[in-house]
Amino acid sequence: MIARANAHVKYPCRFTLIAAANPCRCGYMTQPEQACNRAPLCGADYMGRISGPLMDRFDIRIEVPPVRFRDLNIPNDGEPSAAIAARVKAARQLQLDRLAEFETVHTNADMQGNVLEKFMKFDTEATTYLDRAAQKLDLTARGYHRIMRVARTIADLDQSGPTRKNHLAEAISFRLTQRDKS
């Protein structure tokens, strides 16, 4: 949606953006053995170049530590891709079934307004937890709703009926940077 003084124009657009960035200009801020001599200002200055409203539009933010050379030969004990793909397929089917009555809403990411309100009911513990997190992290309405959608997706991957506090906690953790966690 492009909004100008005299007009609002809506262009159709649907894409997935995946972005990556170093933690600071030199890239060593999070590596103790090669510590950045400007930390933590270097990281704050560097990441501060990305506007807050743009960062707010990222549903998931994950800091990935560098892989140490000695760890490259450690056997992979993670879940196989086929198992993950089956879980994702089942979660997508849950979303399609849940949202079948709506013409333009097919996934949790599409939920807005009344649809979001209808399907995002929490128990008292989860509601209190989300409200406290929203205050502590100074979330915008956009950030608050994005956490709700991601939590619902996590619950779907878990094959859980309701969205619980643990799903919200995981969704919130995906919006935090190291600075937020400390």
**Confidence label for 32 from pLDDT (cuts 50, 70 and 90):** confident
In this structure, the answer to whether residues 32 and 85 fall within a common structural domain is no
Least confident segment among 15-19, 25-29, 162-166: 25-29
Residues shown for the chain? 182
Residue 133 domain-assigned (yes or no): yes
| pLDDT > 80? residue 180 | no
For the segment 95-113, what is each residue's pLDDT rounded down to a tens digit? 999 999 998 899 999 999 8
**Are residues 42 and 126 both part of a single domain?**
no
47: pLDDT strictly greater than 90:
no
Please check whether residues 88 and 25 belong to one and the same domain. Answer: no
> For residue 17, what are the domain limits?
1-50
Residue 9 is inside which H or E element, if any?
strand 8-9
* Average pLDDT of the residues in 130-134: 95
* Total domains, the chain: 2
67 within a domain of the structure (yes/no): no
> Residue 57 and residue 135: Cα distance in Å, rounded?
18
